[in-house]
Amino acid sequence: MDKLELLNIIKNGENSHEELMRPFQANGSIHFDISPIHNTSIRDLNLDIIREYFLKYNTFDLYEEEKSNVERILINADILKEIDGKAMCSVGGLLIFGKSVENVMSQNGISFAHFRGDEITDELIDKKIICGRLQDIAEQTLVVLKNNMKNPSIIKELKRKEEEEYPILVLREAIINALVHRNYSILGSKIRIFMFDNRIEFHSPGKLPNTVTIEKMKIGVSYARNPFLVKYMENMRYIDQLGRGVPMILKTMKDLGAREPLLQESGEEFVLTVYKE
């Protein structure tokens, strides 16, 4: 982004920290997930969960460290960011290790709605807001989707076999992709998941980064908008391999004979639509 574009943003009133960072984030010159969150501190982090993470993936005990060293370790891990000698939570640090994330970041979380029919104007069957740390949101959202699915059964070789409307693996990948790759600098907008009779839509705030196209996504070429989130969620085995999610979703649904999932940009959102088998 050149000086003229920056001046236009300021002139148009888009002068919040998040809005000013958005163009730089889009072209990959800055990553919002390691930005500091003002008025936060180490007290906003759940040190027990951080300790468990380091014990499992870095094989050392955070609680055996001197208190003076703990903050420095978290700064080096980008969980905290040091600004003018003061340590604040990073966006990613709070999203994965925070105590009450929704109290600090209102845009965090997923808004779920289930409609009886194929249109958003049809009868609302279920509605939920799911908040917390990213890994907890992922697990809880999958449970909500499973609870809202019909599980028809068929008789095969004298045995009853339960069949799900949507493969759990596909739903899991769609949820994780939305959580990890959304644009967290867009305030006031949660991820939205709409379930209809014939499809599920995953609405993720933020346009695709400049270097990514839908056609590239289909063949596994991707760009990590939030590399901190990708790294930590990958370490915790929520992500198998960067770029693998979308091709896996497409292949799985194709193998089932379902309509090809639709990937599209709609306004300031990226939308993935998965159709029923």
Encode the chain in three state secondary structure: CCHHHHHHHHHCCCCCHHHHHHHHHHCCCCCHHHCECCCCCHHHECHHHHHHHHHHHCCCCHHHCCHHHHHHHHHHCCCEEEECCEEEEEHHHHHHHECCHHHHCCCCCEEEEEEECCCCCCEEEEEEEECCCHHHHHHHHHHHHHHCCCCCEEEECCEEEECCCCCHHHHHHHHHHHHHHCCCCCCCCCEEEEECCCEEEEEEECCCCCCCCHHHHHCCCCCCCCHHHHHHHHHCCCCCCCCCHHHHHHHHHHHCCCCCCEEEEECCEEEEEEECC
Cα–Cα distance for residue pair 95/238, rounded to 1 Å: 14
Q: Last residue of some domain: 58, 85, 102?
A: 102
Of 20, 22, 15, nearest in space to 207 by CA: 22
Of 204, 26, 195, 192, nearest in space to 125 by CA: 195
Does one domain contain both 226 and 203?
yes
Q: Last residue of some domain: 51, 80, 102?
A: 102
Does one domain contain both 208 and 121?
yes
Does residue 48 lie in a domain region?
yes
Does residue 10 lie in a domain region?
no
pLDDT of residue 185: 94
Does one domain contain both 210 and 267?
yes
Does one domain contain both 126 and 262?
yes
Does one domain contain both 54 and 124?
no
pLDDT in tens, 4-43: 444 444 344 444 555 545 554 454 446 899 999 999 999 9
Does one domain contain both 116 and 253?
yes
Does residue 120 lie in a domain region?
yes
Does residue 39 lie in a domain region?
yes
- CA distances to 31, 87, 131, 134 from 40, in Å: 19, 8, 19, 18
pLDDT-based confidence at residue 242 (cuts at 50, 70, 90) = low
pLDDT-based confidence at residue 241 (cuts at 50, 70, 90) = low
Higher pLDDT, 102 or 30: 102
Does one domain contain both 128 and 261?
yes
Does one domain contain both 176 and 68?
no
Q: Last residue of some domain: 102, 123, 152?
A: 102
Does one domain contain both 148 and 166?
yes
pLDDT of residue 256: 93
Cα–Cα distance for residue pair 252/254, rounded to 1 Å: 5
Does residue 12 lie in a domain region?
no
* Sequence-separated (6 or more) residues with CB below 8 Å from residue 185: 18, 19, 21, 22, 25, 32, 206
**CATH code of the domain containing 180:** 3.30.565.60
- Of 80-94, 206-220, 227-241, the range with the highest mean pLDDT is 80-94
Does one domain contain both 197 and 231?
yes
Does one domain contain both 132 and 262?
yes
Does residue 3 lie in a domain region?
no
Does residue 205 lie in a domain region?
yes
pLDDT at 243 over 80: no
The residue-averaged pLDDT of 250-264 equals: 95
Does one domain contain both 143 and 240?
yes
pLDDT in tens, 177-224: 999 999 999 998 999 999 999 999 999 999 988 788 999 999 988 778
Does residue 91 lie in a domain region?
yes
Show the domain range for 231. 110-275
